[in-house]
Amino acid sequence: MNRTVTLATTDHGEITLPEPPWCAGHSHHDPNSRRVDLLHASPVTTLSGAGWQLGEALLFHAPYASLPPRGTVTLAFHTGPDGLTPAGLYDLAAAMEAGAGQLRALGDQLAEVVAEHDQDENERVRRSVDRAFPNVTRFLAEDRDQEGEDQ
């Protein structure tokens, strides 16, 4: 993540944070938001199949949210008109099968985003530990080197 974005909050002032490449921007941002409400969101994917609009899905990440998970897919689901006939329900089922590939593609994209985020987070934590405890980090590295020589 090379891009950053600075967003105004009511409780922490201006916050600068890394912006993932899949983020669609922050035109929706309300400067009266709190930091915990900051959100990265992907473009919306309309799920459809067999002539039905099944719903919309998007990736989002709320870096300061107090509840996990860090990356997730939000799905707004619309099944069409109420009171479907038996034939209409079969048509809806066929449409859902056709639209399942779109959800799988979003699942693949989410898996990549979460893996990248976890890798970035692990590296950030490692650097923080190195700065805070340089002697411990050096000791652990020397210990690992010694184990390699013993084998």
Is residue 63 a contact partner of residue 38, using CB atoms and an 8 Å limit?
yes
Which residue bears the tokens 């409400």?
A: 37
Classify each residue of 126-136 as buried b or exposed e, where b means 16 or more C-beta atoms within 10 Å of its C-beta: eeeeeeeeeee
The predicted pLDDT at position 80 comes to 58
Query: For residues 78 and 54, is the Cβ–Cβ distance under 8 A?
Result: yes
Q: Which residues of the chain have pLDDT under 70?
A: 1, 67-83, 125, 128-129, 132-151
What pTM does this model have?
Answer: 0.60
pLDDT for residue 85: 82
Contact in structure between 6 and 16 (CB atoms under 8 Å): yes
pLDDT in tens, 102-142: 888 888 888 888 787 777 777 776 776 677 666 665 666 66
pLDDT at 5: 95
Taking a C-beta distance cutoff of 8 angstroms, is the pair 113, 59 a contact? yes
Residue 137 tokens, joined:
């980090």
Domain definitions of the chain by residue range: 3-150
